[in-house]
Amino acid sequence: MFCPKCGAEQSGEPNYCGKCGQRLKPPEPAAGQDGVFVTQTQNVPPNNANGTPETKTKNRHGCLTAYLILMLVGFAFTILIYVAQASIMKSMSRVPAWRSAADLGSSLLGIICVIALFRWKRWGFWGYCILAAAGLTINILAHLYIYLTIIGSVAGVAGIAILFGVLNIGDKDDKGWTQLE
């Protein structure tokens, strides 16, 4: 086997080149893990003797991928509901006119935050936290039915807790939280 980067001959079947440090084989999931892994590679600053950049592979556990997809579908569903029921919402006397626009806007921003998390951006998590706090504020200011305010508030806080928990599944180096930029 030869290194595709520097051409050095490798003895056996190593994971990395002994001369330049280039990854020769993709990483395998740890034993006992049956989750789906989505990987992304990036160049990181060199820390080897010859100064060549190394590649770091980011692994997304299947639970994180599933939860992000669930969030994406939830935000898209919310947008569809508000667009489909725009005339009904306007006819309801208790719903302020700005409420539908605020919900629609926050759902669009939620989709942007989920896409950022798919791209390993930490601001996607913090953006989602801000959206949950904004949702609580919107529910309180709208003076709607108290059960809608409570359900919306609990869902927002639970969503943050679940997302943070899912981001922390795995070993130290495989946790989604530590891989966010």
Residue 48 belongs to a domain: yes
- The pLDDT of residue 100 is above 50: yes
Compute CA distances 94 → 86, 99, 103, 144, whole Å: 14, 10, 15, 7
Residue 181 belongs to a domain: no
Residue 176 belongs to a domain: no
Contact 52, 21 (CB under 8 A): yes
Under the banding of pLDDT at 50, 70 and 90, the label for residue 122 is very high
Angle between helices 97-118 and 62-84 (to 10 degrees): 160
Q: Indicate the helix (H) or strand (E) that contains 57.
A: strand 54-60
Among 127, 69, 139, 67, CA closest to 103: 139
Residue 173 belongs to a domain: no
CA distance 143 to 93: 12
Q: What confidence score (pLDDT) does residue 145 get?
A: 60
Total structural domains within the chain: 2
Mean model confidence pLDDT for the chain: 76
Residue 53 and residue 141 in one domain: no
Angle between helices 146-167 and 123-142 (to 10 degrees): 170
In which domain, by residue range, is 162 found? 62-167
Residue 114 and residue 131 in one domain: yes
Residue 85 and residue 26 in one domain: no
Residue 172 belongs to a domain: no
Q: Indicate the helix (H) or strand (E) that contains 39.
A: strand 38-44
Lowest pLDDT segment from 18-27, 70-79, 140-149: 140-149
Residue 180 belongs to a domain: no
Residue 133 and residue 72 in one domain: yes
Residue 69 and residue 132 in one domain: yes
